[in-house]
Structure 1
């Protein structure tokens, strides 16, 4: 039986799509990468994933794993050669177990972030990972890209939130590593090979994730600051005052607020006029929200933050967060921009912004820099709009990237903080990592995927 004949036989049981039905799975979220696939398979169990991988290995057909298709780097999009299949995990949506005593939750790869959060909440626990695509992104994809979000400052990214994995390997064998242990020193920590590997080493089918006690107190504030340096000073002072109660600390520039005012005029705009910079702060703890809110307000007042809006209700806090979470959509509506997801030592962020902005504005006429991000963990989304707001602007992307990444390298930063490498940064990775590091990565890839069938054209 040929490869396609076997897929056709599995058309119903494995939910196989052919032809025009594959189109939505072959276009990335940013509509930048358009690929082609022989078929799209939508298994509903680990066993079906194993069967598909074994079939592909037998016929040497490449596999592109796909979660919610929310990748910003083309990591989940097939190449345009039409020689691969997409394995979508959208039907693997089972919450396998919530263990409140052990503070863990076990889920299949297709469960969305929002569903994990809701299941944890039902058990009076917190799953702290949080970002704008929570309703659509799937846990398998979040693990494959080591996703971050707004709460990394306190809880870490997906790597820190993962205790165990179940992974289908390149020959279809199953690695059953679903352990919910905080301490396990029995050799190499194999799960960390797969977290952040973007589906190039194995297919994650289940995961055991950390849960935390549910905070009962929250305090949220939107605060104008004179500069990124002042924001760093505020962060350090607040951490000295309340410790790890600082859950999120987001930096937002004036161009972000301008875009929000232009494209979402119904969103609250507390600042008049708009300040050059502001920060969105959230504290969380046990106890009473009113007491924590009062403490935050007192600290901000005592330290001269005269233009500070401290949320007086959960609704007002949610409005502040809607501002932050709407920035990417406002950018999308405004047009095509050249985007960067970078990380730097926190103390280097102000100097980076000053030097990179100066060179950028002098090098590209009409440049508008839209910078925002997770200052608490040094992750900036540093995006550039030019006069051309169509895809034609990508002709300037190599020159813009060279400038940005040169400044990133000067501070020993990273070209990818939380979005991954995918197709977008594959070539750039060759300059961002040493020859030895790249050699070790290729050795790992060759060992775990000797035929090179898992997500070709991504990362390496």
Structure 2
């Protein structure tokens, strides 16, 4: 690989407008957890797919690495290349909504659009784009697709890949894949859309996408219900699905440790329970015009109370109360950061395996130290954030040398339950070794062959996924 040096920049300037070339601000060399730091590079912000193609062709010819950059919110270091001076390719100027086909429930947008802006464009057309993340005010849709982002509504609507009908992308040789079809059925060979979604910028640069929209629910309801334990939470989920079907938009598990951390950090606002529950679930409903979500939630709680699954709860009576309940859930990662995790784990498990995993993982870690555990996340789709914190009164930094030991314990148990060590954050530069250790050898070999075939020079986000 060659650096994006002054000579390379001069060669690009001959074929690109001056506006493409941007000063390299510090935030392009940082990521939220501070685990990776960039070492400089050439920041380019093209305004069109043709300009992206021009840049990629030059990089392929000069063997200069390319790091696609969205909103910079990724948590596995995929947006930072610490050991080189690459082209940092930001899509921040490519934000246009190209088309909205409300009658087809389709929105076509450029990849640099901020997720919240995509949601607003859908809303203005009387539709819903349901991808919802804590970082939606700053993450960009191209990054969401490239990492196959999940969020709180996967239970009902699926992940980013499921919400994408078509992709426009510049491939590693600079050719453009014109795949912005609005079709639900297109059985014409390999699905490049599905391949590029989740590839983390290693197979090309997504420049635009056709996204699925949905009718907006006529009414929404939100409740925070206590549960006896995670097994009871799963029983409550089964009960809710039997009653409400796909009317459940989100079903989030919250451990009491997370509520304690919110109080300690002064985040999340007032807590609804006088006595902090050990476990609770946040339920969101999106229902039709003839259904009353508050009544449905009240009936669900009554049934849960009778069967011993829940003995307390709060049902939002207004949009303000609904927002306050979601603020509790969405502030938990900020509280975690304030307390300081030793090791954070984005895992997924078969739903029925979750209670056993939590019991076994807590016990295995307790044998080493009285660690504090905050387990929370998207119970409805099996995605948990299982984070390990130092014992009360001790410093996170003192346990840094043991981070790999803790990851091995957690990931080993995840593997034993046929789960995944990376549910929604991706591999990035943080987890390639874990992928090699826990990944299926045949799948890894096929992935490597795909990478070598599409990107033989290895210029696209080197170090991501494959290390």
Q: TM-score, normalised by structure 1?
A: 0.96
Superposition map of 1:95-110 within 5 A: 95-110=97-112
Structure 1 gaps, min length 5: none
Superposition map of 1:429-444 within 5 A: 429-444=435-450
Superposition map of 1:197-216 within 5 A: 197-216=199-218
Instruction: State yes or no: 1:46 paired with 2:49.
Output: yes
Superposition map of 1:242-261 within 5 A: 242-261=244-263
Instruction: State yes or no: 1:383 paired with 2:384.
Output: no
Question: Deviations for 1:78-120, whole angstroms, at most 9, x for unmatched residues?
Answer: 23232x1110111111111111011000011110110010000
Helix, strand or coil: the match of 2:149?
coil
CA distance in 2, matches of 1:391, 1:119: 44
Helix, strand or coil: the match of 2:160?
coil
Of stretches 430-439 and 349-358 in structure 1, the one that deviates more from structure 2 is 430-439
2:331 counterpart residue number:
326
Helix, strand or coil: the match of 1:206?
strand
CA distance in 2, matches of 1:188, 1:201: 14
2:296 counterpart residue number:
295
Q: Provide the aligned length of Structure 1 versus Structure 2.
A: 455
CA distance in 1, matches of 2:300, 2:30: 48
Superposition map of 1:58-457 within 5 A: 58-82=61-85, 84-264=86-266, 267-287=269-289, 291-304=292-305, 305-363=310-368, 365-387=369-391, 389-391=395-397, 393-457=399-463
8 Å CA contact 1:337, 1:385 repeated in 2? yes
CA distance in 2, matches of 1:197, 1:428: 17
8 Å CA contact 1:22, 1:39 repeated in 2? no
Give the drift of 1:361.
1.4
8 Å CA contact 1:105, 1:209 repeated in 2? yes
CA distance in 2, matches of 1:122, 1:264: 35
Give the drift of 1:219.
1.2
CA distance in 2, matches of 1:154, 1:368: 32
8 Å CA contact 2:68, 2:90 repeated in 1? yes
Give the drift of 1:378.
0.2
Give the drift of 1:38.
2.6
Question: Deviations for 1:271-300, whole angstroms, at most 9, x for unmatched residues?
Answer: 1210110000011112157x2211210221
Helix, strand or coil: the match of 1:255?
helix
CA distance in 1, matches of 2:144, 2:100: 19
2:3 counterpart residue number:
none
Helix, strand or coil: the match of 2:367?
helix
Question: Deviations for 1:171-190, whole angstroms, at most 9, x for unmatched residues?
Answer: 11000000110111112222
CA distance in 2, matches of 1:26, 1:396: 27
CA distance in 1, matches of 2:9, 2:319: 54
Give the drift of 1:214.
0.8
Which contiguous aligned blocks of 4+ residues in structure 1 show a shift greater than 3 angstroms?
Answer: 7-12, 387-394
Instruction: State yes or no: 1:28 paired with 2:34.
Output: no
8 Å CA contact 1:11, 1:17 repeated in 2? no
* Pair 1:51–1:265, CA change in 2 (3 A): closer
Question: Deviations for 1:349-382, whole angstroms, at most 9, x for unmatched residues?
Answer: 111000110111112x231101100000000000
Helix, strand or coil: the match of 2:423?
coil
8 Å CA contact 1:224, 1:277 repeated in 2? yes
CA distance in 2, matches of 1:106, 1:299: 38
* Pair 1:188–1:8, CA change in 2 (3 A): closer
Q: CA RMSD in A?
A: 1.6
Question: Deviations for 1:246-278, whole angstroms, at most 9, x for unmatched residues?
Answer: 110000001100011121267121112101100
Q: TM-score, normalised by structure 2?
A: 0.95
CA distance in 1, matches of 2:239, 2:427: 34
CA distance in 1, matches of 2:53, 2:458: 17
